[in-house]
Chain A
C-alpha cells in the first residue's frame, strides 16, 4: 500500500550544526519526491524536490539525497538556524496526487 514515512518523529540539533532528516518510501514506482516544511500555525511550504532520475539536488542551504536502491530519501540542512524549527514532511507524487509522510519535528538547541 501507500507509505511514505520518516524514521524519527523528533530531531534535536544544535544551532549551527547540520541537520539530517530521513524518509523511507515503500512504492518503487514513485518517481517524484518533495520536502515540505510546516511552521506552527501555517500550512506546509515547499522546500525542495527531486525526480527519480537524480540522486542529489541542492538548494539554498538544503540538499536532498535519493537512494532508490533502498528507497530512502534524506533532507540535509546546513548550518541549522532557529528559523528552521518546524515539522518537515517528505512526500511523493503518484497517480497525480501528493502523498505525505508523518513528519519529523526539528528542534533547534541554542
Chain B
C-alpha cells in the first residue's frame, strides 16, 4: 500500500511568486490535512479537507489556500510568497475528518519550500 506522496520534495521560489504543492493521500483515505513546519514555530495546522470540502482552517493569512479533488488528492497554494513562508509543508491523510475517531494519520515526507 503506497504511503502519502508529496510533490515536489524541494522547491525554491522568489518573493512575490506563487507556489502549488501537491499531496496524494493513501488509497481510501478521504481526509487530507496540511501543516507548516518551521524551526521557530514548530508544526502549525493550515487546513483540512474531507470529501472536497474544507472542514477546518488554522490561523494563516488568505494567501494560503487549498483544495481537494474528487480522487482525494489535495493541493495547497501560497500566493505572493514571503521570506517567512520558507518551511517544510507536510500533509497527512486519514480515513475520517475527526482526529479522535481514527488514530491513523499518516504524514508524507513533506515539501521543503525555500523563498529567496
Contact = CB atoms under 8 A, between A and B. Distances in A.
Nearest to B88: A43
Decide if the interface of chain A is mainly helix, strand, loop or mixed. Answer: strand
B49 interface: no
Q: How big is the B interface, by class? A: 20 to 34
Contacts of B98: 96
Contacts of A74: none
A43 B107 contact: yes
Contact of B42 (A42, A43, A101): A101
Q: List 7 A-B pairs, minimum CB-CB distance, nearest first.
A: A43-B107, A100-B43, A32-B100, A93-B99, A102-B42, A97-B56, A93-B100
Interface of B: 4, 33, 35, 42-45, 48, 55-56, 58, 90, 92, 97-100, 103-110
